Every structure is written in structure tokens, then in C-alpha cells.
């Protein structure tokens, strides 16, 4: 591929390279016309960007800071209420745990008391049984005795 000079190519197209145009009373070549278009496009682009930025700044400036502060205060109040509620729930759980512990202790005490009573009763029954067997054996060994 051979390198071609744009100026040479423009010369071939009806002598466009050196041709001058009159635009708004100003004489221009195609190159200066292209540069003018590029410069004008840049200026318009910068103006559009500036206008867009101005709109954004106006939008931010028009925000109602007081409304945001009220909303934040409301959110903080709700968070505080949730913290109080959580603290209350934690206290209730602690109280409930203590009540369950107390009930378990009373039940265990009753079970120990009942087991102690049962042991005493079983011992009495066993002693009564032994006494009865001794008396029965004595009576069988000596039927004429008075007991």
C-alpha cells in the first residue's frame, strides 16, 4: 500500500486543495473550514457541558436540607425506639430465664424431697416386712407361744 498525500488527492478532485469558499463573507479553504467546524463543535460541546453542570448544581442547590434533616431525625428516633425495645426484650428474656431456673430448682428440690420420703417409706416397708417375717418364723417355730 503506498502512502498518499491528502493534498495530492484533493488536487485531483477538481482542485479542491487550493479552492477557496466564501462562508459568511469569510474566505476559507477546506482545511480552515474543517478547523473552524472543529473549533465551533468544541465550543458548543463545552457550552452544553457547562449548561448540564449548571443544571446539576441548581438541582443540588434546590434540595430542601431541612427536609433531609427532619427525615434523619425521624430515622434516628426510630433507631432509638428499636434499641429501647431490644433492651426491653433482652430484660424480659433474662427475667424468663431466671424464672425457668427458679422453677427447675423448686422441681428438683421437690424431687429430692419425694425421693427422700420414698426411701424412708421403702425402709419402713422393708423393716415391717422383716419384722413380720421374724414374727411369722417365730410363730411357725413355736406354735404355742403368744407372739
Q: How far apart are CA 130 and CA 45, in angstroms?
A: 117
Whether the CA torsion 70, 75, 81, 84 is positive or negative: it is negative
pTM: 0.42
Distance from the Cα of residue 40 to its chain's centroid: 52
Sign of the C-alpha dihedral computed for residues 10, 11, 14 and 18 taken in this order: positive
Per-residue burial over 42-54, b if 16 or more Cβ lie within 10 Å, else e, is: eeeeeeeeeeeee
Write the DSSP string, 18-75: S--EEETTEEE-HHHHHHHHHHHHHHHHHHHHHHHHHHHHHHHHTS-HHHHHHHHHHH
- Phi and psi torsions of 45, nearest 5°: -60, -40
| Enclosing H/E stretch for 5 | none
pLDDT truncated to tens, each residue of the chain (147 aa)? 566 666 666 566 665 666 787 778 888 877 787 888 899 999 999 999 999 999 988 888 887 778 888 999 999 999 999 999 999 999 999 999 999 999 999 999 999 999 999 999 999 999 999 999 998 888 888 767 665
Amino acid at each position: 500500500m503506498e502512502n498518499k498525500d491528502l493534498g495530492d488527492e484533493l488536487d485531483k478532485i477538481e482542485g479542491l486543495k487550493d479552492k477557496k469558499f466564501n462562508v459568511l463573507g469569510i474566505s476559507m479553504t477546506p482545511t480552515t473550514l474543517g478547523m473552524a467546524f472543529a473549533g465551533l463543535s468544541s465550543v458548543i460541546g463545552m457550552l452544553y457541558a457547562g449548561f448540564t453542570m449548571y443544571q446539576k448544581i441548581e438541582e443540588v442547590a434546590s434540595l430542601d436540607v431541612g427536609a433531609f434533616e427532619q427525615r434523619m431525625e425521624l430515622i434516628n428516633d426510630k433507631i432509638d425506639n428499636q434499641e429501647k425495645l431490644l433492651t426491653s426484650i433482652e430484660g424480659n428474656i433474662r427475667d424468663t430465664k431466671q424464672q425457668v431456673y427458679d422453677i427447675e430448682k423448686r422441681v428438683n428440690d421437690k424431687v429430692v424431697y419425694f425421693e427422700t420420703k420414698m426411701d424412708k417409706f421403702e425402709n419402713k416397708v422393708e423393716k415391717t416386712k422383716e419384722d413380720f417375717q421374724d414374727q411369722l418364723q417365730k410363730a411357725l417355730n413355736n406354735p404355742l407361744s403368744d407372739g
